[in-house]
Amino acid sequence: MPSPSRPSHSAGSAQTLHPSSPRPSLFSYLPLAAAGDNMQNDHTFLYFAYGSNLLMERLQLKNPSATVHCLARLKNYKLMFGNYQGLASDRWHGGVATIEHSPGDEVWGVVWRMSLSDLESLDSQENVTLAAYSPVELSVKTKQREINCRT
């Protein structure tokens, strides 16, 4: 995974911000979407993740091509926990993250760029064949613009 640009701190020193200085946002720690980005190119696709798929180690376990593309928000949706029937998962012993259309709300997540060769393993991980997850293409808002992603 490309290493995002992060402020460096040496041991024993702390970065001091003046009270009127702008605070760094989450956007300052993650790469930004480039102007030519599309849902997919010949070999990759963009995947908007929330919930446990924010964790790089979990996602890359079965999808090794996944690299952080950018941070984004999905407008007019809210994050929910439970399955499509609102029930807890027997496997997880709790609710799994899902999204539901909700005007005025938003869900923050990470956009991953993934190889098309990982699409089958992603669908398997998300139990698409069991109808636990239905992939869709949605538009998400990055710091600079909107991009289309699978989620």
Q: Which residues make up each annotated binding site?
A: 47-52
Strand-pair partners of 48: 111
The length of the chain in residues reads: 151
CA-nearest of 54, 59, 24, 44 to 143 is 24
Q: Could you tell me the two tokens for 12?
A: 């024993």
Active site residue 100: no
Please say whether the beta carbons of 44 and 111 come within 8 A: no
Which residues fall in the annotated binding site for substrate?
47-52
Q: Which of 57, 100, 120, 126 is labelled catalytic?
A: 126
H-helix or E-strand containing 56? helix 56-62
**Residues with catalytic annotation?**
126
